[in-house]
Amino acid sequence: MAHTLLITGGAGFIGSTAVRAALARDDWRVVNIDKLTYSGNLESLAEVEEHPRYSFIQADIADPAAMRAAFEVFEPDAVMHLAAESHVDRSIDSPAPFLDTNVRGTFVLLEEARRYWQDLLAKNPKKGADFRFLHISTDEVFGDLADSDMDARFSETTPYAPSSPYSASKAASDHLVRAWQRTYGLPTLITNCSNNYGPRQFPEKLIPLTIINALAGRSLPVYGTGAQIRDWLHVEDHVRALMTVLARGRVGETYTVGGSNEQKNIDVVRAICGHLETLAPVKPKGVTRYEDLITFVTDRPGHDGRYAIDAGKIRRELGWQPRVAFDEGLRGTVAWYLENGPWWRNILDGTYRCERLGLGTRMEGK
């Protein structure tokens, strides 16, 4: 019999990758809970929407009744909690949704998971003992690393020092998960990952934004001088890590997950331009080189300088390591966006949101 995995935020970038990965295995049923805010896109799950082991619930994780019903109806063996507001710029402009989803939503989900798990222990001790709640977080909760020590890395013991409303809300959610494990015994696990990239990432993020803007001949905005350093992790490597932690991670433990691919933002943008020169040599009118579109813009407030992950613990204890080299993964990502224009064009023109409401492409009054 297949186990049931409840994934929150399964219509998002990482979540949809996790849904597809779990369904590719014969031993998982998947229940996807997603509120379908602006970044949730069911088109990312078109290939599995009729899968016999897949169910979708449109609901807010901050709705206790909806979460209780999901646990009672589907009786999951594990939860993979990915639902989150995650864009730093949006958190600076409007922090309230980040507190609502990342903090209150996590609290509600923990409470309903606890209620379900405690009942499960009484009714089916074996299944209760095997239940897991995996909370997926970010390396941004640690703040940034000093420029003077390029050997420094974030690890599971790094103190929290969030810089933005987004990272502060994720730090709060991490603390809640640890408290529910320590106080109530809820069998939780936490992962903190570095910057993800790959197919189906929402176009507001650096890599897809750069690709799409370049194809349109628009400017490629780079904050400050582009010297910020990020550790890039391919989304498929990340999801393999999540499945590994879910299967073999120790209850109550945290695992930092990174790709060992540190790159300056400006170098990432230039690398994308280089791949486009090869993969999309016919340029928009007036563009001689894609790199000529790079435009340096005013840095955002509180912008962290460098992130880097020490993934030694997950490598040693669980045998996971990244497989996708950055240049290979970046080229594949550029190729995917070139080959899947309808997916991102539907996001840019709003079609993906209208279709979920049965409105076609009409936007009157919106």
The set of residues, in sequence order, having a beta carbon less than 8 Å from that of 112 and lying 6+ positions away, is: 64, 67, 68, 70, 71
CA 272, distance to chain mean position in Å, is 21
Coil, helix or strand for 31?
strand
pLDDT in tens, 38-68: 889 999 999 999 999 999 999 999 999 999 9
How many other C-beta atoms can be found within 10 angstroms of the C-beta atom of residue 198?
24
pLDDT tens for each residue of 321-364: 999 999 999 999 999 999 999 999 999 887 776 554 443 332 22
Annotation marks residue 166 as catalytic: yes
Tokens of 91: 């958190």
> Helix, strand, or coil here: 162?
coil
- Residue 192, both tokens: 């903190």
| pTM for this entry | 0.93
If we measure between CA atoms, which residue out of 189, 203, 243 comes closest to residue 19?
Answer: 243
Point out the catalytic residue in the list 166, 290, 307, 337.
Answer: 166
β-pairing, 220-223 vs 294-297, is parallel
Find out whether 3 and 27 touch, Cβ atoms under 8 Å: yes
pLDDT at residue 149, as a whole number? 75
Given the residues 43, 140, 262, 304, select the one marked as catalytic. Answer: 140
CATH 3.40.630.30, domain 3-201+233-259+303-323, yes or no: no
CA gyration radius for the chain?
Answer: 20
Q: What is the pLDDT of residue 363?
A: 26
Active site residue 50: no
**Residue stretches of the chain with pLDDT short of 70:** 1, 148, 353-366
Tokens of 335: 């190729």
Predicted confidence at residue 353, as pLDDT, reads 64
139 has catalytic annotation? yes
Task: List the catalytic residue out of 77, 139, 231, 236.
Answer: 139
DSSP 202: -
Helix, strand, coil in percent for the chain, rounding step 5 = 45, 15, 35
| Cβ atoms of residues 243 and 297 within 8 Å | no
The pLDDT of residue 355: 52
CA distance 28 to 54: 9
Q: Where are the domains of the chain?
A: 3-201+233-259+303-323
Residues 6+ apart with CB under 8 A from 278: none
